[in-house]
Structure 1
Amino acid sequence: MSYGFLDIATTPGVRTMQAEMGSAHVWERFEGDRAFDRFGRNEMDFIAARDSFYMATVSETGWPYVQHRGGPAGFLTVLDERTLAFADYRGNRQYISTGNARANARVALILMDYVRQARLKIFATVELLPAEPDSNLAGQVLTPGYRARPERIVLLHLAAFDWNCPQHITPRFTEAEIIETMRGVRERLAGLEDENARLRAELALAGHREGAR
């Protein structure tokens, strides 16, 4: 686990729980990987390939709220090694995540790759900007051809990230991934069907010749 991510996540209540469960000594001396405050190429490529993520905010009354965000792969844009962005389109107009983020800019994200059983966790702070269609930023984050109205652009300023272990991540595949995986099987099946048709034709022709004798 990344050192900075653990620093943020470990509160007095967490330390108390670790002490009660006998694991405090493990984390008191934990040094870990300190390269937590900027995305490397591995993280950037992983984020750019995602077509969904989960984002948690906390309300002014202390209740957490988790929202699923989806779009074409890359809709969560990597602007630089410390900044992500996505377009916030008009939806059901409840504005729960947006309202929470305006009151408390701290958010947590989980990005999943179910096929490879990989999980990236991110702590970030939110900055809400108007969606100005002609701006350079909008050109980087707006989805071409998407008919919904963009209401704002959400910037995510990285605080820390952590790669989580793959345990208990059940592999799941999208339709496109299944089609790609099955392409070789389909090609092989088509070849066998062609070969079968050819052999049937040869047998029919041989039978016709035998009957003509």
Structure 2
Amino acid sequence: MITEIENALVDRLTRGLGQLANTVKSYGGELDDESLGTGRLPMVLVTFGGARIEPMSVRGNAFRTSAQFVVIVAVRSLRSNQAARQGGVDKREIGANQLIYAVRRLLDTQRLGGLVKPLKPLAIRTLFNNAQFRSEKVTAYAIEYEAAFDDVAPLEDGHYPEQTSDPASPDFMFSHYAAELSPTSPILEHVDGKLYDPMSGAKVPFDVETANEK
């Protein structure tokens, strides 16, 4: 689910920001590299920042994950530190404040196609202000979000995942990588029994065929 959410965030920001950003992608250490190519700025980067897991029931057999994702916005200072934050007259001078607004406008309370509960903005932090990268100065901020989702039901005690050929299944990796699997659970196809009339003592048998979901 973490990968699906990260990809959905990148996709929505890519489509929604248009020419506000030259680069929108998952974070790959770009801001740790002093050779950062400023031609790729303004840049918007998405990364997973950890999660907490909470039980949803007293029995502890269902859980909800509250994952934290961070959206990093980085711009270069073409003229001044103020222009880097607030933008300038030139269309190319996109400020960090503009990108922060744009990201929040696109993401706040979004469900990403039903993947998560409404996205909750948590905080905005300064990463660096007018920092030197080769011959350019760069300003960057981190926008933190909480993305909550209900986890897949846990396996029964002692069981392994079942065989599946569906790549969309969260358990597909176990089949794909030849892990140990449990036998497929039998499908309930019929329910039969007898209806008993206590007044007359009559017994009427019944047989119900269950519907199979395709």
- Normalising by structure 2, we get a TM-score of 0.30
User: Per residue, is there more helix in 1 or in 2?
Assistant: 1
Structure with more contact order per residue of length (Cα contacts < 8 Å, sep ≥ 6)? 1
